[in-house]
Amino acid sequence: MEDFVSAVSRWVGDDVGGLRRGVVVFVPPGSSRFETVRRLQEEKLVDVVYAYREEAGVSSYRDVEQLAEAVVEEFRRAGDRPVYRVAVMPRSTQEAVLLVKRLGETKREDLQVKILYLPKYYAEAAGELEEELRALAEVEHYRLKTAARGEYRGVSPKPLQISDKEKLKKLLEARKTLEELSPGKLGLRDVLAEAFGKALKAVPGAAVVLALGDLLGYAFGNKAAEGLRRLAEKTGLEFIEKLADSVLKG
C-alpha cells in the first residue's frame, strides 16, 4: 500500500504545483486524503489545510458556509502573494460540491478551485486488476460529475490491500447489496461509494454482510435510510448511521 500512496502523492504533488494560487479540494473520503495532504505539507506545496476533523497542522470547520468564509479570509490575509494554496478535505462529496458553488459565488478572480479526485490516481497506480478486485474497488461519483466538469471514476485504495479471496467475495456481495438499496438515485450512489470505503477500514471483512439481509425490504426512498439505521443498530458502526443521515438529505 505504501507504494501506491507514494506514487499517488508524487503525481498529486505535480498537479497541485501547477496551481499557483487557489483552493485544492481533495475527494472522496476513504482515499487516504490525510496522508496525501500530509506529504504535500512536508513538500511545502500547500500553505493551509482545512478538514472535517482537526489534526496536527489541520484546522477543522463547522459547516460549508463557515468553511467558505474561512478560505476567503485566508486569501485576504495572504495579500498579493503569487503562490498560495489552501487544501480542503470535506466530510463528503456533497459538501465538496456545495463548497465549490459557494466559493464561485464570491466572484474572487484570484481564487481558483481545483477538485482532486484521488481514485483516478489510484486507478493509474494500480494498473490492471483482477476482475473480482476491480469490481470491488471501482468507484464513480455521479454528483461530482453533474456538478463539476470532469470524469470522476477510479478505484478506492482500501480494497487494494485485500488478498484473502473469501473476504474479497463477501465484501463484493456486501457492496452489491448496498448499491441495490436505491437504484438510480445519484446522491445515494455517491454516498454508498464513500461509505463502503469506510466500511473496509472500520470492520472485519464479513461483518458488514451479516445484517444486510434485513435491508432488502427497504429498497426505495427513505426506507433505505430506515434499513441502514437498523443495520447501524445491529453492527454498532457509526459510519452507517451517518450514511442513513446522508440518504435522508438526498
Residue 88: enclosing H or E segment and its boundaries?
A: strand 84-89
Instruction: Quickly tell me which residue has 444486510 as its cell.
Output: 212
* Domains (range + CATH), the chain: 2-121 (3.40.50), 165-249 (no CATH)
β-sheet bridge partners, residue 80: none
Q: Give pLDDT tens digits for 13-53.
A: 999 999 999 999 999 887 889 999 999 999 999 999 999 98
Q: What's the pLDDT score for residue 31?
A: 85
Q: With contact defined as beta carbons under 8 Å apart, do 187 and 250 qualify?
A: yes
Model confidence, pTM? 0.72
The 10s digit of each residue's pLDDT in 46-100 is 999 999 988 889 999 999 999 999 999 999 999 999 999 999 999 888 889 899 9
Distance of alpha carbon 128 from alpha carbon 123, whole angstroms: 9
Taken in order 40, 23, 70, 143, the sign of the CA dihedral is negative
Say how far apart CA 30 and CA 195 lie, in whole Å. 8
